[in-house]
Amino acid sequence: MNFLAVLTVRNEGAFLLEWLAHHRAVGFTDFLIFSNDCQDGTDAMLDRLDTLGIVTHKRNDGPHDKGGIQFTAYKAAEGLPIVRRAIWILTLDVDEFVNIHVGDRTLPALLAALPEATAITLTWRLFGNAGVVHYADQPVTRQFTRAAPVVMHWPWRSAMFKTLYRNDGTYRKLGVHRPRNPDPDRLADARWFDGEGRELEEKFRTGRIFSTYGRSNYALAQINHYPLGAMESYVVKADRGRAVHSDHMLDLDYWVERNFCTDADTTIHALDSALHLDALMADPELARLHAEAVAWRRARFDALMLLEPYRALMGRLLMTPPTQPLPANAARFLIQYANRARAAGAQ
């Protein structure tokens, strides 16, 4: 079975090999990775991985469409042979790790549990910072094990998903959270299931990007989402900007909506990716490029801390405690206004 992961990255060389090793262990057979405007050697690392036949690397340095860097990459991907021959596709970010809870914890095991599915929503479980200040060259999945509760009532972003879907022509374009541009003649045959194993209603075939919050969505599979990392790493991430709108600096709003640390979740450790990581690091060129990316990250943080906006951000991070999940009654108070705004056509 052919499984394709599509990734866009900028200055993520320090994390790339862990992400790649994990997803090779999960069962992805092909990787299409776009890089843009890298200063840390991520693009050189991807060139080496391409030479070794492990990934397909494409540069996406611009100009970019008005939809942003990711959409420009996805548009470029559509005609590539690696996409056309893929049987299943999932678009991911480098801070997102597929975590399957059934069978041997691989993609074939997930499909065996949902044999009728043509699309499976993998809902984020947000992993918070848990007070980690300093960046360390250690696996993200080992450093950060405190997460949001299984049931979240707010914000809706905590229930966003990525979609693993069959590349059978029902959807003709890649998207950030879900495939796009459905073929109306094929759409009725689409069967969407969630990470709990429930078949989803018709509206998920065309528009939704988040699961129903206020209930569990993780029994079969989830996305471990590590959007924050160490505080030092978050400052460097803020310099890069938001993934979709790269000109918007990350600030405390993004941090507060994702820094949930109430529950421990180490289920991802049951899938052993160490052999894959060791094999990648055994290549002297990849090991050298990884070390250079780590050094760049540390030097970039030091440089940013000489600038007031980033020094102020670091101070706010140090002063801000972990986010407390809202109880159901408080969430209902907010949701009623969200529903009223939606009915009125407001944002």
DSSP 251-317: -HHHHHTT-B-SEE--GGGGS--HHHHHHHHTSHHHHHHHHHHHHHHHHHHHHHTTSHHHHHHHHHH
pLDDT at 302: 98
pLDDT at 245: 47
pLDDT at 62: 83
Q: How many angstroms separate the CA atoms of 224 and 323, rounded?
A: 18
Of the candidates 152, 155, 175, which has an alpha carbon nearest to the alpha carbon of residue 165?
175
- Tokens representing residue 110 in the block: 């997930």
pLDDT at 346: 64
- Whole-structure pTM value: 0.96
- Mean pLDDT per 10-residue segment, the chain (347 residues): 96 98 98 97 98 97 86 94 98 98 98 98 98 98 98 94 98 96 96 98 94 93 98 95 59 96 98 96 98 98 97 98 96 91 78
**How many residues appear in the chain?**
347
